[in-house]
Amino acid sequence: MSFTESLKKLLNIESDDANCVMIVGGLGYAGSHVAVELLEMGYNVCIVDNLSNTNIDVLDGIEKITQVKPVYENIDCTDFVAMDKFMNKYPGIRAVLMFTSSHRAQTAAARYRNDIMSLITLLELMPLHKVQNLLIAGAENNFITERIIDDVISENSEIRVKMVEFGELIGAHGMGLIGEVPGSSGCSFVQMVAEVAAGVQKKVRITDNVERNYMYVVDFARLFACETRKMIEEESQIRVEKLKYESGCKMTQKDVMEMFGNVNNVKIQYLCELNDENPLSIAETAQPVVVRADTNIDNALLTAWKWQLHLSDSTNEDTHKRRMIGGS
């Protein structure tokens, strides 16, 4: 063993690779697809996830798709000491990717606490570990997050931040090995449709006629991975940048449900429970730069059904194993 290798072992340093990307929430719905894209680009990926909105099986799915098992540790990102130790073990981190909590997963107070404390932990640790690039992705970037970032950037000119807002992500990876984990984030509308089609749920509840911007999760992941590479490779003077990913595919819940049934040749029972209330808007912020993706909604819904069939097969296999063990 060389002196360098001995020193790394003594210091518990796992890698000094200069092409490492750390993904906070990397086993979640969006994060896992981004991890796949980055691995296929040739980056080393280090994942931090406390499994509060996903499960460990996603890690196996990523490995089967890419033939690479990324570094993973079960850590709460709000834990400063644990995160500090993790970043010490992997000193070659070029960028940190943070995926904010789904609005379906938690109460508003719990969601803000998790996101804000995680953000503060990262902003404190990044200068200590000489990490310059932070990309934050979420269905909505709130003015509190933006104020925190502005204040920190004003004190530390080395940090660069990109905030990416996106609409409703749908579908799954084409191999059907990763997708939205049922129950992990309160179940999206398309996941609910898939579960009704598979007989897991009885009826789809259509709650409004709002036209939403739906984007195939793989299209999002490719855009976000390219944005990460661009941020790492380019020496931009822009300290904070806001982006908004759109697909141009605006549809109502009923439109999406009917298209899902048509492309997958399945029947879906549904119930209309329309709610005329509009969401409350608290504050307006600066408008982001819009980036459009050529999303194929048909393909996205096909992959959503493929993922649901994979979940159903896994559930049936687990049930069979339990019966064999129990003898009934």
Q: Domain segments of the chain: what residues?
A: 3-276+289-326
Q: What pLDDT does 24 receive?
A: 95
Q: Which pLDDT belongs to residue 9? A: 45
Integer Cα distance of 246 and 144 in angstroms: 23
State pLDDT tens for residues 198-232: 999 899 999 889 998 899 999 999 999 999 999 99
Contacts of 308 (CB under 8 A, 6+ apart): 179, 191, 194, 195, 197, 198
84 vs 325, residue with greater confidence: 84
pLDDT in tens, 229-248: 999 998 777 788 989 888 87
Rounded CA gap, 185 and 175, in Å?
A: 22
Q: pLDDT tens across 158-188, in order?
A: 899 999 988 889 999 999 999 998 765 567 8
Least confident of 151-160, 247-256, 273-282, 292-301: 273-282
Task: Please give the pLDDT value at position 14.
Answer: 47
Locate the DSSP E strands across the chain. 20-24, 44-48, 71-73, 93-99, 133-138, 160-166, 168-170, 204-206, 212-216, 240-246, 250-251, 270-272, 289-292
Read off the pLDDT of residues 119-169 as tens digits, 9 standing for 90 and up: 999 999 999 999 999 999 986 656 778 888 888 888 877 899 999 988 889
Q: How far is CA 229 from CA 43, 222, 302, in A?
A: 9, 11, 29
| 257 against 13, higher pLDDT | 257
Which CATH superfamily hosts domain 3-276+289-326? NAD(P)-binding Rossmann-like Domain (3.40.50.720)
Check pLDDT > 70 for residue 256: yes
